[in-house]
Structure 1
Amino acid sequence: MRKRVIAALLAAVMVSGAFTGCGKTKERVNEQGESVITVWSPSDEPAIEEWWISKIEEFNQAHEGEIELRREAIVRADSYAYEDKVNAAITSNDLPDILYVDGPNVSIYAANEVTLPLDDFFPEEEWADFFDSSKQQNTYDGKIYAVGATESSVALYYNKDLLDEAGISVPESREDAWTWSEYYDAAKKLTKDGVVGTNIIMDKGEGLSYVLEQFWISNGTDFVNEDGSAAQGYLNSAEGVEAAKFLNSLIQDGYANIDPIQKEFHNGKAATMLGGSWEVATLEKDYPDLNWGVTYFPVADGDGIPTSPTGDWAASVTKNVQDMDAVKEVMRFLFSEENVTTYAQAISKPPTRVSSYDVLEEYNEYPRSIFKEQLMETGHPRPRTPSYSVLTAEFAEAMLNIFTGVDPQEALDTAAEAMDKDYNKYYANN
């Protein structure tokens, strides 16, 4: 709930014009006369922090006397600490030059002119090297507002021993991906002896939107319309209600838990799991005795559309930038082919540049190849709407209500109405 309040306050501040601040942006030049370019991004695991230290040193040595690159790593122990700091900087007119934002939040900053278009930061041939899924995530109103180094995907993990015992074979090609009915039937057969057939809940917040939106897309609809201005007739469409009913059947029939235990699949308590691409590294490192595999994201029955989630954090350039040439130099450095490759390697996520896969050959081999294939062929970003924070919170609430007995149409109607109300209040006339 608090995230919704923060989002609403942010929108209200920005739309009112108060976000322009009450003073001039601080001069960004150091004692040596170098342009100082500051990056804000969330603090991360040691390998990524080491990557940043190394790359900042490399950049500063190469640009001595001209540009100094600095980074502020913001701890996210409080899940809203990062957003709180950004919101405060908007009101005080003291944003960094480069701001990392989570994929679905690109739109809200772009819509409120907090961030700037980046289309001219790379030549056309370089943009062509970035995955379409990443460019789509970072596009608002036809312009690119952020650049990412890594992507994500979700596929169906399975316990090989349990599936072999049940006599269940898994699809070996994307064209043969399980339909919803086949997925349901497998979950039914696999639910026994204290083990549920599947796990569909990554978390009870934004993870629900990230994973479950694909059931709407595969069934021929989406959460919102193409320009992100309306959820009515999409989120709560007949196709959307059908998707919600299917997911609810897994819960109500006992084949998935609404309150799964921690690491349910990893600990052998769920036979399958809709899990992120990052789980490969976790399973390899921490669960060496688990005999597991990965197959493709399920598709709707009939003429279901093959689809899979995408998205990750990306770097945007804020309205407070003073030295645009220096910022372009930094962005081209951070998202060069080499640095995208090494960053992706350090964080164990798929890179956004196609050429990086010539170096990271592990993505050309199973199981990581599944995620690469999905990103290139079926990837779909979360809804690009400045009202995403309201949409995702309302969707999560709707699905949890559905899982506990609320009529799917009623729950989705309420969520769609809330998202449209937010969009019409803050963005419809922009």
Structure 2
Amino acid sequence: MKTRKVLALTVSAAMIATLGLAGCGKSGDSGKSDSKTEAKGGSDSVTLKWVSQGPGEDSWEGLTKPILEEYEKETGVHIDAEFYSFNDLFEVIETKAAAGNADFDVMSVDVTYIAKYGTSGYLEPLDQYFSDEDKAKWDDASYQAGVWEDTMYAAPENTSTQELYYNKTLLDKAGITIPENDENNRLTYEQVADLAKQGLEKLDPDGTQGLIGFDFQQVSRVYQMNMLANAMGGKNISDDGYSLDGVVNTEPWINAMTWYQGLVNDGIASKGYDADQLGDQFYAGKMLFMVGGTWTPSSMKADDEIGYTYAPCFEGYEDKAATSTGSWYFGINSNSKNKDAAADFIKWFTLEKGSDMWLEINGDVPSRLDKQDEIKNDPEASMDMKIAAYEAANTAVPRAVTPVFGEYSTVLDQAWEDVRNGADVKETLDNAIEQFESAVAAYKK
């Protein structure tokens, strides 16, 4: 079942690094002895088990091993790390947690599962371990995505954001120059669409070259598509996390979907490709503009072909620029017998040295404000990472925080795809509301 790797690294330390636990006991609990001190070389040494997602045994071990070794060196805490495939990790967590299993202490949690696991009692609340000062060290979107019903359940490992990427080779051939822009003077979606249209008219006037003018890397997925509605001031879900009525049947959603459908109807955006295929079209030099994640440049064969800038905004909504965000988090198994030690590990990995090491090794967008500032002020940092750091701190909008994200994404992913293929926008959104309400009726309090 699992493509798993066990790192018997006396990894308490390793785990902590990966999880991002800071390094002392509960906030405000000065009466407790430091679990790190207890573990260092003593008979009370602790072994933590961390279950996480990994893209492959060798590559993931290579990323985490030095971090885990450093934590062990600092604390004496041992960590057994188990890496699973994306889908298998969820099965392991839900099966074991539901059974009250205590054989793992720390879990990596995809941001979309935090509210579900919190509601289900799988995650230990973290407010007792993280002070208000600790929480203020992350950008607001990253912190809020780990909170459900005013309770913090998970701490961010890192985050993600979106930028506007463009193929410089194609634009040069079309004689198109990108207007000067910055975070305070963004290109608008309307401008990008017009530039894409101009490029197609010059490079592929009869459509025989298969070029795409402008589209979204994860087309028809709420992760990226919802930023269109967000950029007009739209919310992702009701405040209680269980309704779409009064959310998607509003002007921001209707106007955003109508605009995107027009992009497809005009032949500027694509049809036929799904979210697993569309990015490849950009990498292959078949797309002029693409809103995509910061991993995009590393996927290009030639870096000099790609340009990037801040995510667009809509005309008239310049103050509502919005970018999709979210990534992996660390949480404590509520059945763990080592909660204090697990909390130390997570804090070290998300706010302290483990976090520094992880960001350096993995190159992800940081959730920590100080690291975002460090990137923005570093003359040697790449411009795309400077943009990413700005967007994460200033325009990031968390995905819908709800215990029923699976139902949510199923309904709205399909709605975006239906609109892409010509369905009536208003009718599609009304149907989405009905489908969602039916799907989550049993979960409502």
TM-score by length of 1: 0.83
Residues 199, 265 of structure 1: 8 Å contact kept: no
**406-415 or 358-367: which moved more?**
358-367
Q: In structure 2, do the counterparts of structure 1 residues 276 and 70 end up closer, same or farther at CA, with 3 Å as the change threshold?
A: same
Looking at structure 2, the residues matched to 98 and 335 of structure 1 have their Cα atoms a distance apart, in angstroms, of: 13
Q: Which amino acid aligns with 1:130?
A: W
Say which of 239, 245, 249 aligns to 2:258: 245
Q: Does 1:337 align with 2:338?
A: no
In structure 1, how many angstroms separate the alpha carbons of the residues matched to 2:131 and 2:313? Answer: 36
**Which amino acid in 1 is paired with 2:52?**
S
Pairwise mapping of residues 10-25 of structure 1 onto structure 2 (< 5 A)? none
**Structure 2 residue aligned with 1:287:** 302
Going from structure 1 to structure 2, the CA distance change for 1:362 and 1:39 (only over 3 Å counts) comes to farther
Q: 1:57 aligned to 2:69?
A: yes
Q: Does 1:324 align with 2:339?
A: yes
Q: 1:97 to 1:52 in 2, by over 3 A?
A: same
Alignment correspondent of 2:55: 44
Could you tell me how far 1:327 is from its partner in structure 2? 1.5
Task: Give how far 1:332 is off.
Answer: 2.3
| Cα distance between partner residues in 1 of 2:431 and 2:315 | 27
Provide Cα deviations, 1:400-423, integer angstroms capped at 9, x if missing partner: 122222211222222222323344
Q: How does 1:222-301 map to 2 (within 5 A)?
A: 222-260=235-273, 263-283=280-300, 286-288=301-303, 290-301=304-315
User: 1:406 and 2:414 equivalent?
Assistant: no
- For the residues of structure 1 that align with 2:134 and 2:66, how far apart are their CA atoms? 24
What's the % identity of the aligned pairs?
Answer: 21
Partners in 1 of 2:217 and 2:294 — Cα distance? 15
Instruction: Say whether residues 1:99 and 2:113 are aligned partners.
Output: no
Q: Secondary structure at the match of 1:236?
A: coil
Q: Which amino acid is the alignment partner of residue 84 of structure 1?
A: E
User: Does the 8 A contact of 1:337 with 1:355 survive in 2?
Assistant: no
Q: Deviations over 1:219-270 (max 9, x none)?
A: 1212312332321121232321211111111212111212345511121110
Question: Structure 1 201/53 Cα, relative in aligned 2: closer, same or farther at 3 Å?
Answer: closer
RMSD, aligned CA: 2.4
What does residue 175 of structure 2 align with? 166
Q: 2:94 maps to which residue?
A: 87
**3-state secondary structure, aligned to 2:78:** strand
| Mean CA deviation greater in 156-165 or 378-387 | 156-165
2:113 is aligned with 1:75: no
Q: 2:128 aligns with which of 120, 124, 134?
A: 120
2:332 is the alignment partner of 1:312: no
Distance 1:145 1:183 in 2: 39
**In the alignment, which of 134, 141, 161 is matched to residue 133 of structure 1?**
141
| 2:193 corresponds to 1:176 | no
CA distance in structure 2 between the aligned counterparts of 1:138 and 1:363, rounded to whole angstroms: 32
Amino acid at match of 1:136: Q
How high is the TM-score relative to the length of structure 2? 0.81
Number of the residue aligned with 1:369: 386
* CA deviation map 1:264-322 (0-9, x unaligned): 11211100111101113333xx324x422111222222135111111101011121111
Q: Distance in 2 between matches of 1:239 and 1:120?
A: 38
After TM superposition, give the deviation of residue 150 of structure 1 in Å. Answer: 1.2
Instruction: Report if aligned partners of 2:241, 2:400 keep a CA contact under 8 Å in 1.
Output: yes
Q: Which moved more, 1:119-128 or 1:183-192?
A: 119-128
Could you tell me which runs of 5 or more consecutive residues in structure 2 were left unpaired when the two chains were aligned. Answer: 1-38
Q: Distance in 1 between matches of 2:346 and 2:91?
A: 25
Equivalent AA in structure 1 for residue 112 of structure 2:
P
Q: Which runs of 5+ in 1 are unaligned?
A: 1-28
